[in-house]
Amino acid sequence: MTHLTGRKRHRGAIAAVLGAVLAAGCGGTEPAAPTRLVIAVQPTATAEQLAAESKELEQFLEARLPNVDVELRVPTLFAGVIEALRFGHADAAFMSAWPAALAQKHAGAEVALAEVRQVLIDRETVERPFYYSYWVVMPGSPYKSLSDLKGRRVAFPSPLSTSGYVMPMAKLVELGHLTPGEGEADPEQFFGQVLFAGGYAQAWQALKAGQVDATIIAGDVPAALYNEVLAATRVVESQGPIPSHAVVFAKTLQEPMRSQLRDALMALGDEQHRDLMRRFISGIFVRFQPATTEEHLASLQQSLEATNLRFTERLR
């Protein structure tokens, strides 16, 4: 009797093991929940305009990141992207240079990828992760240099622009025309009138209309606008290199996800996928290349230190 009971127990144990194996093979074990990955996007258009492309980009990344649920978020403010990285609400972000520098300063985030773009340097179209901007006046203008523009009227495209404000202001400091001291460099201490036009095209219109004596054009604007401005003006000064947009990673994003996301984003540079980023982020996107905060933002950091300029959106 004892012998038979032992054999029954042995058979029961074998059956239990076989049952577990068969259950696993037939999907009896619940699959692991997908990892959630949030990417914040610096607002370059309305959320509605970005919605369709967001879904397509999410699907592109999910196909290359197994068992990862990718979500793209577009905060309404530039500072919202930085705060999302700072407080753990985003794992990565697409950002322009100045906000990327602030993300490093305030959120401990790091530049992982630099955007190589099709830009114009002087008159040549090139693929670079940087470009230059230029002070221009009308051809018949008596002004030959920035020094000659003291007390004159000038149009900046935007006080948030790296190429159209931060770097040109740093050039004024470099040449000794502005001395910021403890405060921010103030263009009104040198120019007689300062206009923030709302964009490069608007600033160019102001110069053409005679509303200002000088303005700025940058090598990352549409080629038609860039060539129109340079053909109809005279350059009196330039500044750069100016860093392009970047992808920053939150300090909480760990390996292997860090490397996997980097590789997936770099795949967007393949010719068959490039149009996705051109529709979503930048019409002159070529590819992403690995970078660090120190190497990609070096010239910008120097300009910010020289000017003491602060982003106008308040960080909580």
CATH classification of the domain holding 204? 3.40.190.10
Residues 220 and 145 in one domain: yes
Domain that holds residue 99: 35-115+245-292
The H or E element spanning position 134 is: strand 130-137
Residues 253 and 239 in one domain: no
Residues whose CB falls within 8 Å of the CB of residue 14, separated by 6 or more in sequence, listed in order: none
The answer as to whether 222 is a domain residue is yes
The answer as to whether 11 is a domain residue is no
Residues 166 and 199 in one domain: yes
Residues 250 and 190 in one domain: no
Strand partners, 114: 246, 289
Strand partners, 111: 248
Which of 209, 243, 277 represents a domain boundary (last residue)? 243
The answer as to whether 16 is a domain residue is no
User: Do 119 and 166 touch, CB atoms closer than 8 A?
Assistant: no
Residues 155 and 88 in one domain: no
Helix, coil or strand: residue 221: coil
Digit-by-digit pLDDT tens for the chain (316 residues) are 444 444 444 444 434 433 433 344 444 455 567 799 999 998 765 556 677 678 999 999 999 998 999 999 988 787 889 999 999 999 999 999 999 999 999 999 999 999 999 999 988 999 999 999 999 999 999 999 999 999 999 999 999 899 999 999 999 999 999 988 788 999 999 999 999 999 999 999 999 999 999 999 999 999 999 999 999 999 999 999 999 999 999 999 999 999 999 999 999 999 999 999 988 888 899 999 999 999 999 999 999 999 999 876 444 3
Residues 82 and 139 in one domain: no
Residue ranges of alpha helices (H) inside the chain are: 2-25, 47-64, 78-86, 97-107, 167-174, 200-208, 223-232, 257-266, 274-280, 293-296, 298-307
The answer as to whether 203 is a domain residue is yes
